[in-house]
Chain A
Amino acid sequence: MSKTAPSIERKRQKTGMAFITPTLLIITAILVYPILQSVVLSFGESSIDGSVPYKFVGFKHYFALLQTERFWNALTVTVIFTAISIPLELILGIGLALLLNEHFRFKGIARLAVLFPWALPTALNTLMWRWMYNTDYGVFNAVALQSGLADRPINWLGDDVLAMGAMVTVAVWKTSSFMALIILAGLQSIPRDLYEAGRMDGMSRWQEFREITLPLLKGPILVALIVRSMDALRTFELPFNLTDGGPVTATESLSLYAYKVIFDFVEFNFGAAIVVVQFLVIFAMSLIYIFTLRNKD
């Protein structure tokens, strides 16, 4: 009786460790270690191919960053893009979800149509839209000119405001469907009899929405919002393919700016400082997300 070894549990935990080790190794190598290395790189001078030995320079790159107008521009662009597209996606997403929750024929096709924009690569989606926005041959200008809505071709991607609008449009087109799917799942988990009870209480359809649907959708909506916000804050291929950040830098997101700094301007360590800042912003968001998730139940 000396040993109280719970051998069954211990054996299983050993197997468990063996089962989880490969995953932890890969995650560490691909996700955790690179972030730490980026932090180290951001505090030094080195070269991308390792030909220059690493030299510690402290906060030099961060101070430089604070004084770089283009960084502030990229940050502003990213925040504006996120702040405009997320509410639009949410409203459209709720609308789409309510629509898909109705009973009608050809529902399968409708659901599929909603799923497609999400499932296709953002990079290629963006190319499609860029083709439609094309000043000389795009379908938007063709319709605008032929219908007389415009007398000259509109340079959709050549104007600061229009370009941002174009980018937001693509994002909203692509991700409203994702929002809709998550909200739809939430909708379908609301027990039917709640609505029947509501009807017995004499609620109108709007009151049903206000008093039953919306409060019970709070969880899924919150999740969708935070996940999408983090997505939007790291948007990369959308401006990369649509405008290359232009005109000039009017649509240059933080991710795109960091990429250009590293590979076009070959300022490796300065670029590392940018990605560390971006990481901190998004990580803060993800902590909020996890916190809300844990509080949910």
Chain B
Amino acid sequence: MTEVKLKSIGKSYGAVAAVQQVDLTIKDGEFLVLLGPSGCGKSTTLRMIAGLESITAGDLLIGGKRMNDVDPKNRGVAMVFQNYALYPHKSVFDNMAMALKLQKVAASEIEKRVGTTAEMLGLTEYLGRKPAALSGGQRQRVAIGRAIVRTPDVFLFDEPLSNLDAKLRVKMRMELQELHDRLGVTSVYVTHDQVEAMTLADRIVIMNKGLVTQVGTPREVYDHPVDEFVAGFIGSPAMNFIDLVRNDNGIWKTACCSLALPSLPLDTSRLLSLRLGIRPEHIVVNPDDEKGAFTYQATVKLDELLGADALLNLKVGDVSLLARVGGMDYPVKGDVLKIALPEARMHFFNPETGLAYDRTH
């Protein structure tokens, strides 16, 4: 049972805090993804778990033991680096065997473990080569193999796929998924790529400015973002935001009234302004019911075909909206059409704090 517990962990360099305060419990066997923009503290958090970065506040428990001052090699963790970090002057075999050699594991045992791992990853024929003679994907596999042979309690991944080209990234992502299913080792994975996060994670931790903003399953963070940051960060293209004010008649409208919303699914009695969010994929173009409550007339300003999908740049009065529609027979630039905003798909945020409002229904 290897559970990783971060108790109010923080990291500051002098007066600058890279990670302010992070509380997290990573369950045994869980695949946890730390997601956030660059500089949000996700890498620093991972490196504190690894032992590459000292912890300036709080406690780190791995398997119930406090690890703050333990050397990386004694933490039972293995790490896969972004740039592979293979020893360029050593063969694939030696790269994978290094940690075991340093642990003084018997040569025959090393041979066996490296051999098995190499086979699992399809690296057997490359064991004698130097990293420079391998392709990007193969190098990445060696980096993963190096972590596997140690049979660690926890895997740490620091943006391991970001140096691969798009095609290979998808392939390796799937391999990683299979690997995790097979080995079932607790894993912490840092990325800024939300697709990787959504596909790999049991739970996603979204970080911003050195703090955890939300922890949840991919479904939860997509459907119920706790604030505007998460709402805007998850999903591509990003969520549309519309600022609304309440007029004297209690009707919510955009600033110069081109878009009015009759009633909202939340208690707005004490609010004067709020921000509405709706994802591009949730805007319904040419709805069946043209008289619905949230149906508006829109003009297509720009249409972009992505392949399977198309993006429409819509104008409703003075409000710009991005909508995602199917790639077949979609409206084109200049068309005037009806759109509907499904009430169930709306998100509401406090424009000052960015926090999401609870819906009443």
Which residues of A are at the interface with B, using a C-beta cutoff of 8 A?
1, 4-9
| Bound Cα distance A4, B57 (Å) | 7
CB <8 Å contact, B69 and A7: yes
Q: What are the 9 A-B residue pairs with the smallest beta carbon separation, nearest first?
A: A6-B54, A8-B54, A7-B69, A9-B54, A4-B56, A6-B56, A7-B54, A4-B57, A8-B51
| Bound Cα distance A8, B56 (Å) | 11
Q: B288 → chain A, closest Cβ, in Å?
A: 55
Q: B13 → chain A, closest Cβ, in Å?
A: 10
Q: B51's closest neighbor in chain A, by CB? A: A8
CB <8 Å contact, B54 and A1: no
Q: B54's closest neighbor in chain A, by CB? A: A6
Chain A residues within 8 Å of B68, by CB: 7
| Bound Cα distance A171, B263 (Å) | 88
Q: A268 → chain B, closest Cβ, in Å?
A: 50
Chain B residues within 8 Å of A6, by CB: 54-56
Q: A7's closest neighbor in chain B, by CB? A: B69
Q: A5 → chain B, closest Cβ, in Å?
A: 7
Q: A13 → chain B, closest Cβ, in Å?
A: 11
Chain A residues within 8 Å of B54, by CB: 6-9
Q: B8 → chain A, closest Cβ, in Å?
A: 9
CB <8 Å contact, A5 and B69: yes
Chain B residues within 8 Å of A5, by CB: 69
A-B contact pairs, 16 of them (CB 8 A): A1-B58, A1-B59, A4-B56, A4-B57, A5-B69, A6-B54, A6-B55, A6-B56, A7-B54, A7-B68, A7-B69, A8-B51, A8-B52, A8-B53, A8-B54, A9-B54
| Bound Cα distance A5, B55 (Å) | 8
Residues from 37 to 68 in B contacting A, C-beta threshold 8 Å: 51-59, 68
Q: B68's closest neighbor in chain A, by CB? A: A7
| Bound Cα distance A9, B69 (Å) | 11
Chain B residues within 8 Å of A4, by CB: 56-57
Chain A residues within 8 Å of B59, by CB: 1
Known A4-B56, A7-B54, A8-B53; 7 more pairs at CB < 8 Å: A1-B58, A4-B57, A5-B69, A6-B54, A7-B68, A8-B51, A9-B54
Kindly name the residue among B51, B54, B58, B59 whose own CB sees the greatest number of chain A CB atoms within 10 A.
B54
Q: A191 → chain B, closest Cβ, in Å?
A: 24
Chain A residues within 8 Å of B53, by CB: 8
| Bound Cα distance A73, B72 (Å) | 66
| Bound Cα distance A7, B60 (Å) | 14
Chain A residues within 8 Å of B69, by CB: 5, 7
User: 1/0 contact trace for B16-48 toward A, CB 8 Å?
Assistant: 000000000000000000000000000000000
Q: A5's closest neighbor in chain B, by CB? A: B69
| Bound Cα distance A6, B54 (Å) | 5
Chain A residues within 8 Å of B51, by CB: 8
Chain B residues within 8 Å of A8, by CB: 51-54
| Bound Cα distance A219, B51 (Å) | 41
Q: A206 → chain B, closest Cβ, in Å?
A: 44
Chain A residues within 8 Å of B58, by CB: 1
| Bound Cα distance A9, B55 (Å) | 10
Q: B23 → chain A, closest Cβ, in Å?
A: 14
| Bound Cα distance A98, B319 (Å) | 58
| Bound Cα distance A4, B54 (Å) | 9
| Bound Cα distance A9, B13 (Å) | 11
Q: A19 → chain B, closest Cβ, in Å?
A: 19
Q: A9's closest neighbor in chain B, by CB? A: B54
| Bound Cα distance A43, B11 (Å) | 54
Chain B residues within 8 Å of A7, by CB: 54, 68-69
| Bound Cα distance A7, B53 (Å) | 9
| Bound Cα distance A221, B54 (Å) | 43
Chain B residues within 8 Å of A9, by CB: 54
| Bound Cα distance A1, B58 (Å) | 7
Chain A residues within 8 Å of B57, by CB: 4
| Bound Cα distance A4, B59 (Å) | 10
| Bound Cα distance A4, B68 (Å) | 10
Q: B57 → chain A, closest Cβ, in Å?
A: 7
Residues from 124 to 159 in B contacting A, C-beta threshold 8 Å: none
| Bound Cα distance A7, B54 (Å) | 7
| Bound Cα distance A112, B54 (Å) | 50
Q: B22 → chain A, closest Cβ, in Å?
A: 15
| Bound Cα distance A194, B53 (Å) | 41
| Bound Cα distance A8, B69 (Å) | 7
Q: B72's closest neighbor in chain A, by CB? A: A8
| Bound Cα distance A224, B271 (Å) | 68
Chain B residues within 8 Å of A1, by CB: 58-59
User: 1/0 contact trace for B54-92 toward A, CB 8 Å?
Assistant: 111111000000001100000000000000000000000
Q: B59's closest neighbor in chain A, by CB? A: A1
Q: B52's closest neighbor in chain A, by CB? A: A8
Q: B165 → chain A, closest Cβ, in Å?
A: 25
| Bound Cα distance A109, B206 (Å) | 60
| Bound Cα distance A159, B294 (Å) | 102
Q: A96 → chain B, closest Cβ, in Å?
A: 36
Q: B227 → chain A, closest Cβ, in Å?
A: 30
| Bound Cα distance A96, B58 (Å) | 61
| Bound Cα distance A4, B56 (Å) | 6
| Bound Cα distance A173, B84 (Å) | 49
| Bound Cα distance A7, B55 (Å) | 9
Q: A10's closest neighbor in chain B, by CB? A: B54
Chain A residues within 8 Å of B52, by CB: 8
Q: B111 → chain A, closest Cβ, in Å?
A: 33
| Bound Cα distance A201, B346 (Å) | 53
| Bound Cα distance A1, B55 (Å) | 11
Q: A1's closest neighbor in chain B, by CB? A: B59
Q: B67 → chain A, closest Cβ, in Å?
A: 11
